[in-house]
Structure formats: structure tokens, C-alpha cells
Amino acid sequence: MHLFNFKKEFESKLLEGWKNTTIRKPRKRPVNKGNYIRIYTGLRTRNTRFLGDSLVLKKINIQIHTRRKIVPVSEPTLITPIGYPLTKEELVLLSKRDGFDEMNRFFEFFEKGDSLPALFDLFFYEPLNIPEVGFKKIIIWGE
């Protein structure tokens, strides 16, 4: 089982089931579709909090270009073919599913990290809770 640590700012969206994607640098021991993950905040601190276990539903390789505000993908989505950047609508959806209120905040978050553009793994996992908004189906990218 793999451990995923999240910043405290995402805790409520994780627990409410609104955040069911995460973007990570590729790992030495890769996480793949069908693997179970343990979700935490504050891992390796005295404020560690276990939020729950989840199943990885899909993994896509992406690149993030913060200056140009584009994200090319390794698999086709409903709109975007392989290797092309996501449309603005898809970027807005991705940023919201990843826990950000707006697309610019998404790019600012990744700008603070390593030098970009860089390759990442985009994971879709079962939400810890299903939000009560009148539907129960989990929509996965490109389906």
C-alpha cells in the first residue's frame, strides 16, 4: 500500500469527497491503477492525521507548463487527443477536482515547487466520501 500525504488546506475537500485527483512526481516504486493508497495530512510530523484508504482508478502522465498555462496529456480525454494540451474547460475542471478554487491558483501551486515544465503522474482515486449532489457515479477523465 502506498502513502499519499496532502497539505492541510486540502483536508476538508478530501473528507467531503470533492478532491479525488492528485498530481505527483513519478516514484521509484510506481503507483498504478488498482493499487490501494492511504491518505494522510501532516505525515512525518506530530500532527499526522489518517484520512482513509482509497483505490487508484486511473493514472495519466502529464506535463505542467506554468508560464504558458498548459498541461499536455499522455492519454486522450473527451476533447483533447494524446500529446495535446488540455482545453481551458478541462483545465478548470482538473484544477477544481484537484482542490483549487480557480485555475490560476492551480498553476501558482505548482510554480512554487520544482522547475517546470516537468513530468507528473495524475491519479484518479475513489473519493473518501461521495458528495451529496444527486449522483453516485464517479466520472473518470476521458470516459
Model confidence over 71-118: pLDDT tens digits? 887 776 655 666 778 888 888 888 998 999 988 999 888 887 666 677
Question: Is the overall model pTM greater than 0.85, yes or no?
Answer: no
Range of the domain at 112: 2-125
| Calpha distance 41→140 (Å, rounded) | 24
| CB proximity list for 37: less than 8 A, separation 6 or greater | 1, 2, 3, 4, 31, 53, 54, 55, 56, 123, 125
How does pLDDT run across 49-78, given as a tens digit for each residue? 999 999 999 998 888 887 788 888 777 665
CATH number, residue 114: 2.30.130
Q: Is residue 132 part of a domain?
A: no
Q: What is the number of other CB atoms lying within 10 angstroms of the CB of residue 37? A: 19
Q: Domain total for the chain?
A: 1
